[in-house]
A and B are shown apart, each in its own frame.
Chain A
Amino acid sequence: MRHTRDAMASPNRTARSAVVTGRLLGIAFLVCFLTGVYSHLLQEPLGWMRFPTRPVQLYQFTQGLHITAGIAIIPLLLAKLNVVMPALVQTPPVRSVLHLLERASIAVFVASALVQVVTGLLNTYQWYPWPFPFKQVHNALAYVLIGSLLIHIGTKLQIITRYWRKRDSFDAQGRFVADPTVGSELPDPNQHDPNDPAGQEARPGSASPSGGFVGRLHRWIDGTPAPGPVAPATDTVPVTRTAASADGRRQRVARRGFIAGVTAATAGVVALTVGQSSAVGEPFNVFGPRKRHLGQNGLPVNRTARAAGVLATATAADWALTVAGPSVSRTFSRAELIALGQTEARLPIACVEGWSQMATWKGVRMRDLLAAVQVDPHVHVRVTSLERHGGYRIMEMGPEYTADPTTLIALELNGEKLDLEHGFPARIIAPGRPGVLQTKWIERIEVIA
């Protein structure tokens, strides 16, 4: 155990590295949590809730951020787990009941973080190779993850405050300053067990022979000192100072290499996928699971008419939309809807899976349609799709959307007749809502309050 731990000793596996990677990871998890809760509440609001409809791209932004931050978490989480690897094999494994609880909370945190990130990523690929429902588990684990993260920050707070600032973390030579009073579980890269030869490479002054597997391993890795002085050493410089500055330089180089690797991985993986939800990233969309402007009417498709089981009903000649008010109920054919007068709106389709695209819609305003059945537009409505099954067959909409002048019963998309895959004969489009609530192939709108 101890040998494994010494083999892991590195200038990048210090409390300071854990704080630096942990800060970034903490921010990314918080962003994912808040944007995730927002997306969840949009889909399952508590009765009293109202949501902003401006800017119309709000949900496109929050959900794009959710997925992008989630993708950035992959390299950051791996980096953080790499930094704290020596704590995994600490001796003794458990020091007290409190320490056992703390380690258990970290196990919960790591497990839920890994499962959230892996299942979240695969969800963007629409692949679900696991034996549990994604949406419910993703929602529940988010609280488990954030709860265990708060516990983790709490238990490590002394270390976090001690190594928050760079100037408190390194000495004048750039070497990590280990502070044994804060209780870090990571080894000090400057100090090594005197009985263990593994650390000799960090102390060029001492050339005592070393044995054991780890010692041999480290000699194989680090070999004999590289030829030539690293620092412009002169004879007047004391040996200890040269050694200290050389060691400081070694640690700085290691740290910069690590930061360069994590930055390259995070920036690279984000840049090559963010084009599915951002116009800026579109030219670099190499690995995004979606490509903008690809699909019927120049827009990607999620659920097809065939999958929804509406091939016959949506194309039936006698299709009509029923609008049921408390006193008046009317049905409208597609031609009658067009005759009510159409309005154009620029609204994005923004999917919970992260992809999004702006589009031009043309159709009847919801409030005009409600006026046609003598209803004030500030009402709750229930919209039913022709879909035979599926969790989003019935959708409810609050007054902030029904009264909004851009909420349409869309009949045209991007200058063409609405394609069957996009909800022909008519669909809903409203500002700032997730794609799953932009109900396609609608057959009934009912005023419920």
Chain B
Amino acid sequence: MSAVVVDNRVRTARIVLVVLGVLVLAFGAWVLVTTVRPNRIGGLATWLLGAVVLHDAILSPFVLAVGMGLRRAGRALRTWVLVVVQAAVVLGSVLALVVLPEIAAKAHGTKNDTVLPFDYTTRLLVVEGVLVAVVVIALVVGAVTARRRPDQPVVAGTTSP
């Protein structure tokens, strides 16, 4: 690691931000211990630790693998096709992350009929189906236009030329 050069103004701003941050964080810790009973803080600690472990040990490797798969699958795709496929995969994944707990919450039971009123399973399947259709259409259109214009180079997506 090369020597890090820190500008004087940056150094001052950094000290102010870190000191302020420590104070705000300490205030948060104080609010926590004064408003939440000690036996509940243990449960919270488990959730905080669990969230990091779940993200770093399970979700991240999964996303990395999907990213590599997309990169491999995308090396023969035209740029716009690859961008459409990527956007659809990311949107589909985030929607699943948001709506699957909603389905679970509804299955768990709601307090009245105006809470979670929709059939979220069907709706999620329909939206994911639309995204799959968009991906298929993009792939087909990309393949057809590439065949019609063979002189146009196929862009190697996010990969090397």
Contacts and interface: CB of A to CB of B under 8 A. Distances in A.
B120 A260 contact: no
A139 B31 CA distance: 8
Interface stretch (A53-61, A216-224, A361-369): A216-224
B4 A183 contact: yes
Contacts of A75: 90, 94
Contact of A261 (B4, B89, B95): B89
A88 B60 contact: yes
A125 B91 contact: no
Interface stretch (A264-272, A331-339, A440-448): A264-272
A410 B52 CA distance: 47
Given A147-B24, A301-B114, A250 B94 contact: no
Contacts of B87: 257, 260-261, 263-265
B25 A148 contact: yes
A293 B4 CA distance: 59
A24 interface: no
A289 B71 contact: no
A132 B43 contact: yes
Contacts of B47: 115, 119, 130-132
A183 B1 contact: yes
Nearest to A154: B17
Interface string A159-192: 0010000000000000000001111000000000
Contacts of A301: 112, 114
B41 to A, nearest CB: 7
The residue among A108, A151, A301 with the most chain B CB atoms within 10 A of its own CB is A151
Interface string B97-116: 11101101110101111111
Given A151-B17, A181-B2, A225 B95 contact: no
B36 interface: yes
Contacts, number: 304
Interface in A231-260: 231, 243, 246-247, 249-250, 253-254, 256-258, 260
Nearest to A148: B25
Contacts of B129: none
Nearest to B98: A269
Contacts of B123: 286-287
A180 B116 CA distance: 51
A177 B15 CA distance: 27
Contact of B156 (A114, A151, A230): A230
Interface string B114-128: 111110100110010
Contacts of B48: 111-112, 115
Contacts of B67: 10, 82
A180 B2 CA distance: 6
B40 interface: yes
Contacts of B120: 287
Given A115-B51, A286-B127, A125 B102 contact: yes
A151 B24 CA distance: 10
Interface string B133-161: 00000000000000000000111111111
Nearest to A143: B28
Contacts of A155: 14, 18
B22 interface: yes
Contact of B159 (A112, A221, A228, A300): A221
A140 interface: yes
A133 B105 CA distance: 18
The residue among A147, A247, A262, A301 with the most chain B CB atoms within 10 A of its own CB is A147
B10 to A, nearest CB: 5
Nearest to B48: A111
B95 A269 contact: yes
B118 A250 contact: no
A373 to B, nearest CB: 35
B25 A8 contact: no
A376 B138 CA distance: 69
A415 to B, nearest CB: 19
Given A261-B87, A288-B118, 11 more contacts: A10-B158, A127-B105, A145-B28, A151-B17, A157-B10, A257-B158, A260-B87, A264-B90, A269-B91, A272-B127, A287-B120
22 contacts: A74-B94, A85-B64, A110-B51, A112-B48, A144-B32, A147-B22, A150-B24, A151-B25, A153-B17, A155-B14, A158-B6, A158-B10, A222-B71, A226-B154, A227-B154, A250-B161, A253-B158, A257-B158, A261-B91, A272-B95, A287-B124, A289-B115
Interface of B: 1-7, 10, 13-18, 20-29, 31-32, 35-36, 40-44, 46-49, 51-52, 55-56, 59-60, 63-64, 67-68, 71-72, 75-76, 79, 82-83, 86-91, 93-95, 97-99, 101-102, 104-106, 108, 110-118, 120, 123-124, 127, 153-161
Q: Which 6 A-B pairs have the closest CB atoms?
A: A147-B25, A143-B28, A154-B17, A131-B43, A150-B21, A147-B24
Interface of A: 7-8, 10-11, 71, 74-75, 78, 81-82, 85, 88, 95, 105, 107-108, 110-112, 114-115, 118-119, 121-122, 125-127, 129-133, 136-137, 139-155, 157-158, 161, 180-183, 201-202, 204, 217, 220-223, 225-231, 243, 246-247, 249-250, 253-254, 256-258, 260-265, 268-269, 272-273, 286-291, 294-295, 300-304, 307, 421
